Amino acid sequence: MNAIPDSSEISVVVQGPIVGKGDTWNGLLTQRCLQSVRKFLPKAELILSTWQGADVSGLDYDGLVHSVDPGVCVSQAPKGQNLNRLIRSTSAGMERATRSFILKIRTDIELTGTGFLTAFAQYSKKGEETFFSSRVVTWAWLTKTRGQSGIYHLSDMVHFGRREDILSLWQIPLLEKSADELEDAKKRYDDPRESFLSIVYAAPEQYLCLSWLNRHRSTSLPKHVTSEGRLEWERLLASNFVVLDVEQFSGKWKGGDRLTISAWSETCGFEEWRALYRKYCDASSPGKWLDRVYWAKLTIDLLLRRVGWLARGYSRLYHWLAPQAAGKSPMGFKAIFKAKRK
Per-residue confidence (pLDDT) for residue 186, from 0 to 100: 55
Task: Confirm if 170 and 115 have CB atoms less than 8 A apart.
Answer: no
Radius of gyration of the chain (CA): 20
Residues of the chain with pLDDT under 70: 1, 21-27, 74-80, 148, 177-202, 222-224, 255-262, 287-295, 298, 300-342
| DSSP of 231-267 | HHHHHHHHHHEEEE-HHHHTEEETTT----HHHHHHB
**Count of alpha carbons within 13 Å of 227, Cβ hemisphere only?**
0
Per-residue confidence (pLDDT) for residue 183, from 0 to 100: 61
Using CA atoms, how far residue 229 sits from 48, 225, 234, 235, in Å, is: 37, 6, 9, 10
Provide the residue ranges of all domains of the chain, joining segments of one domain with +: 7-306, 313-342
With CA atoms as reference, report the closest residue to 102 among 44, 18, 59: 44
Per-residue confidence (pLDDT) for residue 193, from 0 to 100: 45
**Where does 7-306 sit in CATH, by number?**
3.90.550
Predicted TM-score of the model (pTM): 0.81
